[in-house]
Amino acid sequence: MMRLTRRGLLLGAAALGPLAVLRHGRAQSADPFTLGVASGSPRPDRLVLWTRLAPQPLDGGGMPDQPVPVEWELAEDERFARIAARGTFTAIPAHGHSVHAEPTGLAPGRTYWYRFRAMGAESPVGRTRTAPAEGAATDRFRFAFASCQMYEHGYFSAYRHMAGQDLDLVVHLGDYIYEMSWGRRHVRRHTGAIPTELWEFRDRWALYKGDPDLAAAHRIAPWVAIWDDHEVANDYTNDRSPRTEDPKQFLRIRTAAYQAFWEHMPLPMAAAPKGPDMRIHERYRFGDMLDLTLLDDRQYRSHPPCGAGKGNAPGHADCLDRLSAERTMLGAPQEEWLGRSLGEARGRWTILAQQTLMAELDRKAGEGQSFWMDGWDGYPAARGRLLAAIAERKPSNPVVISGDVHAFWVADLKEDFANPASATLASEIVGTSITSQGPNEATIRTGQAENAHIKYARGDKRGYVAMTLTKDSARADLMAVDDAFEQNSAVRPLVSFVIENGQPGAKPA
């Protein structure tokens, strides 16, 4: 249900013309494009253009309870002299007046510019790019990936820097919003309580979308995105969370959260959720260079083992249940789909984009082992099946990109993590958070000392990862913000790693 405010009702009379309202007896215009523009889901002949009309973004959007036509244009040049496609999308209240325009018949591997008009206003201009044709010779492909952007923990300087880069794609690995407050030294504040209703999730998304640096990063390249837990509830698994253990109650929250996720991302209309269910696992192919697979390790996963996740965060205590072959991160249908996808990969590089550190991480110094149950270490049999599928299907140059853990990690994904001499099946690059506060130094030191397959770890820096793919190598530049508490902080390369064609395992550049 929409929350109708007095201002929203006043806007109804002007919804189809120039947006002006009377306030305190004076006319006042409002911008319906406060949440910016974005593009995504790039294919060789089509993509998605997104915006959401919200002149009053932090108070339900401020839109009238009626459909509003939104004109869109896609051009081959910045001045819009050569229009490639145009149309009108009807933004409706049930979808938060979000726009998911889907131009088709486009040229592959081409840069375009786009804009929207509605209610007498014109949006900012965005730049986007279609994917190269399948199998087309591609000399270079550059993308960035990011995750974990806790609004209260700092400024989005990493996105300001990203917006200045020449990128073909941005991949977001989850925790785009945070539903809860935590941590120390907040530099800005969430508005409202922990969201459980659709209007509350919309307001939280609008708060994040209103950040100018994040909006700038959306304007420079198409995005693809998956979620993690904070888009819904901290540490949730399948149909419950530590805060809401009743499945019926939690699925009502998940329904609202998934709806808000779709409304605020450049996703096609066909991707809209059906109640509490929404498919985000997907495949993209970029010429002969890259097969990119997006995974969902939240919606279908088994509940935490060893009594973890009941009324508190997953813990470290081990038990036999952790090793059960029945435990899954992806769910059986997604596991089968992934196996087929790996077998059908044709690109020089095969990248799996997923939420959290996949490499085993023993967190206990000295004898014995200790594992965090909310990651792949809580599901070792499922991890084993995924790595076995890589070994069996033999896709070219498999690389896993990950987020969630608020630290940079570079690791070898081993056939047997207990045996350093066992085969390296894939490489893993984990990006730190955009702003979310990271682990302490003791955790980082122990992680490196107790796990021979960990090549690099650092938890005191915020930032993102920029990757450059060529036929000979994949280069990962770990980009670090000087100080996330400082607005417009500088961003610099921290360290770089290279994965050479045909040789799994990342090496310092």
Name 498's bridge partners. Answer: 475, 507
Mean pLDDT of 11-32: 47
Q: What pLDDT score does 318 carry? A: 83
Name 118's bridge partners. Answer: 121
DSSP characters for 427-490?
A: EEEE---SSS----HHHHHHHHHH-TTEEEEE-S--EEEEEEE-SSEEEEEEEEES-TTSTT--
Q: What pLDDT score does 94 carry? A: 98
Report which listed range, 24-28, 180-184, 316-320, is most confident.
Answer: 180-184
Kindly report the CATH class assigned to 142-508. Answer: alpha beta
Q: What is the CA radius of gyration of the chain?
A: 22
Q: What pLDDT score does 11 carry? A: 40
Count CA atoms within 13 Å of residue 424 on its CB side.
20
Counting beta carbons within 10 angstroms of the beta carbon of residue 88, is it exposed (0 to 12), middle (13 to 18) or buried (19 or more)?
exposed
Q: What pLDDT score does 18 carry? A: 44
Residue among 194, 156, 200, 197 at smallest CA distance from 176: 156
Give residue-wise pLDDT tens across range 414-456.
999 999 999 999 999 999 999 999 999 999 999 999 999 999 9
Mean pLDDT of 269-283: 98
* Domain boundary assignment for the chain: 6-129, 142-508
Q: What pLDDT score does 12 carry? A: 41
* pTM exceeds 0.85 for this model: yes
CATH topology for the 6-129 domain: Immunoglobulin-like (2.60.40)
Mean pLDDT of 253-266: 98
> Is-contact 186 178, C-beta < 8 A?
no
**CB neighbours of 101 closer than 8 A, spacing ≥ 6?**
48, 49, 50, 70, 72, 87, 89
- Provide the residue type at 396 as one letter: S
Q: Crossing angle, helix 212-219 and helix 198-209, to 10 degrees?
A: 80
